[in-house]
Chains A and B, each alone.
Chain A
Amino acid sequence: MAETVFFYIFTSLMLAAAIAVVRHRSPMYSVLSLLVVMFCLSGLFVMLGAYFLAAIQVLLYAGAVLVLFLYVLMLLNLSPDSLNRANVFIQPVAGITAAGLLFVALCRVATQSPLPPTPTVAQPGTIEALGRLLFRDYLLPFELTSFLILAAIIGAVTLAKGKSPS
């Protein structure tokens, strides 16, 4: 029963924060709202037994990605004017309609899809379990991600560096 309660608390908070992310005019508040989303999400992860991921979610997203966003926001020092150009009306309407329709469709898919069979053994997402999997079955993809990240770093640096001052 407590599970249900927690689920609804986390979920409603998460969705509310998500709406705030989307709706807020100032990116700063949006980023902060996203932080709330992350925390709620990691709560849900804990409920699902993904302990390690819950930790990662907070550490990586909240600690790294969002901080990066904040950095950039401050770096750019956006004036509110540059952000608040009048939106074309049609765009949000179309977006919300499409998203709404998609939501309905997804819900129908979710309710109509057959459920997976109930697992015999629950697998907790501990560090050890994930680690075994990661460094055995997923070793090659894992190594390949390092290339991806390297490429991203190089790309980001080259892009953001601009023309060399010489």
Chain B
Amino acid sequence: MVEAHSAAAAVGATDPALLALAGKAAWAILLTPLICAVAILLVGIHRKSFAMAAAVGGLATSLICTLFLFFQASQGHLAVPFEVSVTWISLGGLSIPFGVLIDNLSLIMTLVVTGIGSGIFLYSVGYMHDDAAASRYFGMLSLFAFSILTIVLSTNWIQLFIGWELVGFCSYMLIGHWYAKPSAAAAGNKAFIVNRVADFGFIIGILWLWSVSSTASDDRTVHFATLMARLPVLVESGAVPVATLSVIGLLLFCGPVGKSAQFPLHVWLPDAMEGPTPVSALIHAATMVAAGVYMLCRTFWLFEMIPSTLNVILYVGAATAFLAAALGFAENDLKRILAFSTLSQLGYMVMAIGLGGPVAAMYHLTTHACFKALLFLGAGSVIHGTHEQNIWKLGGLTRSMRWTSLTFLIGSLALIGFPGLSGFFSKDEILVLAREHNLPIYLLATLTAGMTAFYTGRLWFVAFMGKGHAHGHESPPVMLGPLFFLAGLSVVAGYIGIPAWLGEHHEAFHWDVALTSTAAVAAGVTISWLLYSKRAIAAGSLVRALALPQSFVENRYYIDDIYTWYVQNIQQKIIAAGCAWFEQNIIIGAVNAVAALAQGLGRLLRLFQTGVVQTYVLVFVAGVLWLITRYLAVR
């Protein structure tokens, strides 16, 4: 029943023994976290240390397998892409495989997930040490690892969707980990439902794509490789009009809009910061929210056929990048500032896709995963040490939490694109692309880079520099280890040739773009230094001067309010209450009316029951007489 088949690419012959081993390793990457999750949730729910060991061990196993495959592939021993899969559903003409697709793209993403994930898992051991429900936390974390790997290694749309939904569930459970807090429970609900709304479009897109994917000789398919080969033919022959495909593309893009928190469905991500900080680092910064971008890269062969959809993607991404960065100006919560920054960077990645540069997007995704995870873990370390996340109540952390501050500084510099650090290179790629294709977007992106520098500078100057209020203690080594690891990655990720690995020849360095963006960054940092560290300009007067945009930003453009208004007034008060009214009064009312009719007839007939036997006899005789008369008449 489990028929594994490998569709090795024609290029490069692979040793059969190695191929078999690689197949096992590929399955191991995917399934080890699942097995660990099941083990933790079934037997380890009351055994905290077992849960921790299993979760970390499971993901570490995945990491080792990934590294194995990565080196085999990079040495050229293993021909990629290669695929192992089993048939999950086979029904009539429908065949849905479930498997592992190994190619350069999925390998780099798997490395991000397992590598950074392992660090964060380890960090969680320290962070969640005193939590009573740590077992559930680690179980869910393992399940999340499985789910995100299901997406990353997916061979087809349905498997991708399965993983897509499962990460949503894990995210829901982990955001709501401290369910006693009403805000955490609400944030979990919000994340799940917003994603559900997006996935509605996504699944329709998948269904539609599936339904147009058949050719004269072959059945429909959801399989990536098959679709990739088949769609251009179908479009060329006119069997699938480009307009249709564009609509399908838009529907599919709904998925990333939800999962990668693009405008206007970005509202769940800031709230998701209610979860434990490692979760924010792993799920809501490094991997899950990047899954949307990954999906767009994975299926870029589809999107590159539909330029109109790409344009929409571009503008959505650009809008998200800019608007979210502005939101970072007015936020006071340490983690939420990082969340807005994540939004903004995700906007960059989506923008890169829209510009036709999946490699740039993937590059930025990878570097962003490193430094944003680092920033979140740093924030987690701060919260762990001070139990405070309002930046105005922090300050002077450079003294009390030296190592945390140092790593945080590296992460911040990488984020703003300080020359030489990883963020600089990846952002530069996107800016180059933008300048080539779309000048207004390029300007906006450069402005956004400056804004990023501004709010990051604000965060740094307020929370870490300055006179100390916070008396934190430095975190344990188990938490600092991952911080150093990620800081190292944030520095070197720009030099290890990720674009080349993803198949793009690195073009000549664009000094003009780099200088412009560096200037914007420098300007942003300088302004924030003047405002918040030097206090050369009173921040308050600036706020007063910008009253209108300020309130606009503080209320997050009122988008949350619009949604809340919709839910409370339209959905609940009009649609749901209206349906309930209809149910109660029309449907149930109609049934009751029928019952009342029967009862009324009964009351009427009751009058004939006088209780006097003779009357009954009289009626009876009358009836008999009538019958006899009829009988006589008929004869």
Complex Cα spacing A91 to B631, Å: 28
Complex Cα spacing A109 to B631, Å: 9
Q: Does B538 contact A (CB under 8 A)?
A: no
Complex Cα spacing A98 to B614, Å: 11
Which bracket fits the contact residues of A?
10 to 19
CB distance from A115 to the nearest CB of B (A): 15
Q: Which of A95, A105, A106 has the most CB of B within 10 A?
A: A105
**A109 engages B632 (CB within 8 Å):** yes
CB distance from B395 to the nearest CB of A (A): 95
CB distance from A97 to the nearest CB of B (A): 10
Q: Does B624 contact A (CB under 8 A)?
A: yes
Question: Pick the contact of B635 from A91, A99, A105, A112 — CB < 8 Å?
Answer: A112
Q: Does A154 contact B (CB under 8 A)?
A: no
Q: Does B629 contact A (CB under 8 A)?
A: yes
Q: Which residues of A contact B635 (CB under 8 A)?
A: 112
CB distance from B628 to the nearest CB of A (A): 4
Complex Cα spacing A106 to B632, Å: 10
Complex Cα spacing A122 to B355, Å: 117
**A98 engages B628 (CB within 8 Å):** no
Complex Cα spacing A101 to B622, Å: 9
Question: Pick the contact of B625 from A94, A95, A105, A112 — CB < 8 Å?
Answer: A105
**B622 engages A105 (CB within 8 Å):** no
Give B236-270 as 1s and 0s: 1 = Cβ < 8 Å from A's Cβ atoms: 00000000000000000000000000000000000
Q: Which residues of B contact A163 (CB under 8 A)?
A: none
Q: Which residues of B contact A106 (CB under 8 A)?
A: 628
Q: Does A102 contact B (CB under 8 A)?
A: yes
Query: Which residue of chain B is the closest to A113 with respect to CB atoms?
Result: B635
Query: Which residue of chain A is the closest to B620 with respect to CB atoms?
Result: A98
Complex Cα spacing A101 to B631, Å: 15
CB distance from A159 to the nearest CB of B (A): 18
Number of A-B contacts (CB under 8 A): 26
CB distance from A7 to the nearest CB of B (A): 25
Q: Which residues of B contact A102 (CB under 8 A)?
A: 621, 624-625, 628
**A91 engages B628 (CB within 8 Å):** no
Q: Does A108 contact B (CB under 8 A)?
A: yes
Q: Does B618 contact A (CB under 8 A)?
A: yes
Which bracket fits the contact residues of B?
10 to 19
Question: Pick the contact of B614 from A91, A101, A109 — CB < 8 Å?
Answer: A91
Give A84-126 as 1s and 0s: 1 = Cβ < 8 Å from B's Cβ atoms: 0000000100110011011001101100100000000000000
Complex Cα spacing A98 to B617, Å: 10
CB distance from A130 to the nearest CB of B (A): 31
Q: Which residues of B contact A95 (CB under 8 A)?
A: 614, 618
**B618 engages A105 (CB within 8 Å):** no
CB distance from B634 to the nearest CB of A (A): 12
Question: Pick the contact of B622 from A91, A98, A109, A112 — CB < 8 Å?
Answer: A98
Instruction: List B residues 577-635 near A (Cβ within 8 Å).
Output: 614, 618, 621-622, 624-625, 628-629, 631-632, 635
Q: Which residues of B contact A94 (CB under 8 A)?
A: 614, 618
Query: Which residue of chain B is the closest to A109 with respect to CB atoms?
Result: B628
Query: Which residue of chain A is the closest to B635 with respect to CB atoms?
Result: A112
**B621 engages A98 (CB within 8 Å):** yes
**B632 engages A112 (CB within 8 Å):** yes
Complex Cα spacing A98 to B620, Å: 10
**B625 engages A101 (CB within 8 Å):** yes
Q: Which residues of A contact B622 (CB under 8 A)?
A: 98
Q: Which residues of B contact A112 (CB under 8 A)?
A: 632, 635
CB distance from B616 to the nearest CB of A (A): 12
Complex Cα spacing A108 to B628, Å: 9
Question: Pick the contact of B629 from A91, A98, A99, A105 — CB < 8 Å?
Answer: A105
Complex Cα spacing A108 to B625, Å: 12
CB distance from B626 to the nearest CB of A (A): 10
Complex Cα spacing A75 to B145, Å: 97
Q: Which residues of A contact B624 (CB under 8 A)?
A: 102
Complex Cα spacing A105 to B621, Å: 11
Q: Which residues of A contact B618 (CB under 8 A)?
A: 94-95, 98
Complex Cα spacing A98 to B629, Å: 14
Query: Which residue of chain A is the closest to B628 with respect to CB atoms?
Result: A105
Q: Which residues of A contact B625 (CB under 8 A)?
A: 98, 101-102, 105
**B621 engages A108 (CB within 8 Å):** no
Q: Which residues of B contact A98 (CB under 8 A)?
A: 618, 621-622, 625
CB distance from A25 to the nearest CB of B (A): 18
Complex Cα spacing A109 to B625, Å: 11
CB distance from B400 to the nearest CB of A (A): 95
Complex Cα spacing A101 to B628, Å: 11
Complex Cα spacing A112 to B632, Å: 8
Query: Which residue of chain A is the closest to B627 with respect to CB atoms?
Result: A105
A selection of 10 A-B contacts at a CB cut-off of 8 Å is A94-B614, A95-B614, A98-B618, A98-B621, A98-B625, A99-B621, A102-B625, A105-B632, A106-B628, A109-B628
Interface residues of A (CB under 8 A from B): 91, 94-95, 98-99, 101-102, 105-106, 108-109, 112
- By Cβ-Cβ distance, the 8 closest A-B pairs, closest first, are A105-B628, A98-B621, A105-B625, A102-B621, A94-B618, A101-B625, A91-B614, A98-B618
Interface residues of B (CB under 8 A from A): 614, 618, 621-622, 624-625, 628-629, 631-632, 635
- Given contact pairs A98-B621, A102-B628, A106-B628, enumerate 12 new A-B contacts (beta carbons under 8 Å): A91-B614, A94-B614, A94-B618, A95-B618, A98-B625, A99-B621, A101-B625, A102-B621, A102-B624, A105-B632, A109-B631, A112-B632
